[in-house]
Amino acid sequence: MNPSIIGLQQWFRTPPGRYLLAWEAAQCDAVVEDCFGFHALQLGVPELPSLRMNRMPHRWVALPESPAPEAQDAVPVDGLLPDRGHAPEVCLVTDAAALPFPEASLDLVMLPHTLELSADPHQVLREVERVLVPEGRVVVSGLNPASLWGFRQGRARLTQHLGLGGTLYLPEVGEFIGPWRLRDWMRLLGLEVELEQYGCYRPAVRSDKWLARTAWMDRAGPRWWPIFGAVYFFVAVKRVRGMRLLGPAWRPRRAAAASPVSVARRQ
């Protein structure tokens, strides 16, 4: 199994990992509840129940590779995953850069930290755009490098590169993708950003005690430093140029013929 995925799964069980998953789950619940259609897909991170509030009849969770034997029966992180009555129906193992779905077949695609774990994140986003129906939605969450968490991670990587030691705060995953970069990718693919949110403003600490003491930062962050949250959350809609929704073909009522009007002429 990919060491990056294993490291991310283990980190999700730490106090900051549970804190981040709880915030993302709340955002997903608020968004997917109002998304309608027939087919929804979550790519990666099965620890996050992103589709538990969605009511589409066909829902899948796709993993980038087969899970490790010891992780197949793992208990969800602090019960974040829903019960089986609301769980997705099918779990797939597929390559995120080559999805086994026809073009314009999915109404909703969830990408929780999927782009960070991919070797070619731009190709993954391009593949998602291919399988989305017109006016379909894609939801992307990722770690923000321009945050207190990202600053600590970058400093730790620098000290390790210089041979000075240091411990990484976040898991050793792929390259973190800044929200400004993701916004440009979406614009090039015709994905219009409908919602952009940031969260998890507490500092890079490791214990529940200090996370609880700094809870006030989650209330002050959206007002005073909104774009510096540790995680970003994007919702984008696939726009297709030239497409116009057709209304009912009502037969127009014929206008009544105008009656002749006599005109007086001066001789």
Q: What is the pLDDT of residues 204-236, one digit of tens each?
A: 999 999 999 999 999 999 999 999 999 999 999
Q: Please say if the pLDDT value at position 261 is more than 70.
A: no
Long-range contacts of 3-9 (CB under 8 A, 24+ apart): 3/172, 4/117, 4/171, 4/172, 4/173, 4/174, 5/64, 5/65, 5/117, 6/68, 7/171, 7/172, 7/173, 8/45, 8/113, 8/117, 8/171, 8/173, 9/47, 9/71, 9/74
Structure tokens that stand for 1 in this block: 């199994």
Number of separate domains in the chain: 1
In which band, very low, low, confident or very high, does the pLDDT at 200 lie, cut at 50, 70 and 90? very high
- Using CB atoms within 10 Å of the CB of residue 49, give its burial: 0 to 12 exposed, 13 to 18 middle, 19+ buried: buried
User: What φ, ψ does residue 23 adopt, rounded to 5°?
Assistant: -65, -45
In which band, very low, low, confident or very high, does the pLDDT at 78 lie, cut at 50, 70 and 90? very low
Whether residue 81 is contained in a domain is answered as yes
Q: Please say if the pLDDT value at position 61 is more than 70.
A: yes
Structure tokens that stand for 8 in this block: 């991310």
From residue 248, give the alpha-carbon distance in Å to each of 36, 243, 245.
21, 16, 10
Whether residue 247 is contained in a domain is answered as no
User: What φ, ψ does residue 191 adopt, rounded to 5°?
Assistant: -100, 115
Whether residue 196 is contained in a domain is answered as yes
Q: Please say if the pLDDT value at position 53 is more than 80.
A: yes
Cβ count near 132 (within 10 Å): 27
Q: Report the pLDDT averaged over residues 54-76.
A: 67
From residue 133, give the alpha-carbon distance in Å to each of 40, 109, 236, 244.
11, 10, 13, 14
Output the CA angle 178-201-152, nearest 5 degrees: 60
Whether residue 260 is contained in a domain is answered as no
Q: Report the pLDDT averaged over residues 12-38.
A: 94
Q: Report the pLDDT averaged over residues 59-73.
A: 64
Whether residue 251 is contained in a domain is answered as no
In which band, very low, low, confident or very high, does the pLDDT at 253 lie, cut at 50, 70 and 90? low
pLDDT number for residue 77: 45
Report the C-alpha dihedral over residues 125, 122, 21, 144, rounded to 10 degrees. -130
Amino acid type, 27: Q
Contact 174, 117 (CB under 8 A): yes
Domain that holds residue 44: 3-238
Contact 147, 91 (CB under 8 A): no
The string of DSSP letters for 191-205 reads: EEEEEEEEE--S-S-
Structure tokens that stand for 193 in this block: 């950003």
Whether residue 264 is contained in a domain is answered as no
Whether residue 144 is contained in a domain is answered as yes
Min mean pLDDT across 61-75, 121-135, 153-167 is at 61-75
Which residues 6+ apart lie within 8 Å of 128 measured at CB? 43, 99, 109, 111, 138
63 membership: H or E segment, kind and range: strand 58-63
Whether residue 263 is contained in a domain is answered as no
Q: Please say if the pLDDT value at position 85 is more than 60.
A: no
Which domain CATH number covers 170?
Answer: 3.40.50.150
